[in-house]
Chain A
């Protein structure tokens, strides 16, 4: 019996890269208290944004991604805010925040049609399902809306290189 993960290579993708202007968006953003239509521009008024694209809320890919973020101490950052992005609805995001220790420190974009995935070049076709969701990816966006760092998964599952991202944020 094989209990290990099967790692699948993902097709190459043209994605947003460091130095690019981050594609603008306006989507429902879920915090621990309410959800509200919010633009990237509005988010950036509070400082740089670390956009974390992840699999839909519910199973281990999304959960491990954010448990890694909690363990890395990103909730304590004062120089950037962590914003998750998935196809999950605001209610699912709210349940996800509540279910796991520390997740309420982060806000989550609800992008059911995966429009951000398409705009940033980071989508994932869920095998065997007619579902397009976000490919694991992280974009560090400064207050000028410039992408300072981009990581986009080349295999699945994949988890962000936490140390690399932290180094970029520390240098903002």
Chain B
């Protein structure tokens, strides 16, 4: 198994996780899935990595970005890897104020 570019910490049938996975799939980005437990108190791995116990959590191995909250993740992915974005390699650039 090669190392995919991203790791998604997710929960089975979690709609917010599905949203992130759907975005990754639509964008053709390879990812590996790590399923965690339904109970928040048992998500120590997620807490250690992302500082929170919520899922989904995305780890982008190329940029070192680790983030929670599906809306933030989708926004990050679209900004960093979206086709129409000319600054695709600069995920931290925010000065353009939106889509061209």
Chain A residues with a Cβ under 8 A of chain B:
26, 28, 33-39, 41-42, 90, 94
Q: Cβ of B1 and Cβ of A34 under 8 Å apart?
A: no
Do A26 and B1 form a contact, CB below 8 Å, given A33-B45, A34-B45, A37-B32? yes
**Given contacts A26-B1, A28-B35, A42-B1, could you give 19 more A-B pairs where the C-beta distance is less than 8 Å?**
A33-B36, A33-B44, A33-B45, A34-B9, A34-B34, A34-B35, A34-B36, A35-B35, A36-B32, A36-B33, A36-B34, A37-B1, A37-B32, A37-B33, A38-B1, A39-B1, A41-B1, A90-B35, A94-B37
Q: A108: shortest Cβ distance to chain B, in Å? A: 14
Query: CA A101 – CA B33 in complex, angstroms?
Result: 28
> Can you name 25 A-B residue pairings with CB atoms under 8 Å?
A26-B1, A28-B35, A33-B36, A33-B44, A33-B45, A34-B9, A34-B34, A34-B35, A34-B36, A34-B45, A35-B34, A35-B35, A36-B32, A36-B33, A36-B34, A36-B35, A37-B1, A37-B32, A37-B33, A38-B1, A39-B1, A41-B1, A42-B1, A90-B35, A94-B37
A126 → chain B closest CB, angstroms: 27
User: How many Å from the CB of A61 to the closest CB on chain B?
Assistant: 26
Q: CA separation between A36 and B44, bound complex, in Å?
A: 16
Please provide the chain B residues from 42 to 89 with a CB less than 8 Å away from any CB of chain A in the complex.
44-45
Closest 3 CB pairs between A and B?
A33-B45, A34-B34, A39-B1
Nearest chain B CB to A60 CB, angstrom units: 26
A88 to chain B, nearest CB (A): 15
CA A169 to CA B52, docked complex, whole Å: 39
Considering residues A33, A37, A42, which has the most beta carbons from chain B within 10 angstroms of its beta carbon? Answer: A33
Q: Please measure, in the bound complex, the distance between the C-alpha atom of A107 and the C-alpha atom of B52, giving whole angstroms.
A: 24
Which residues of A lie under 8 Å from residue B45 when comparing CB positions?
33-34
Task: Provide the bound-state CA to CA distance between A35 and B36, in Å.
Answer: 7
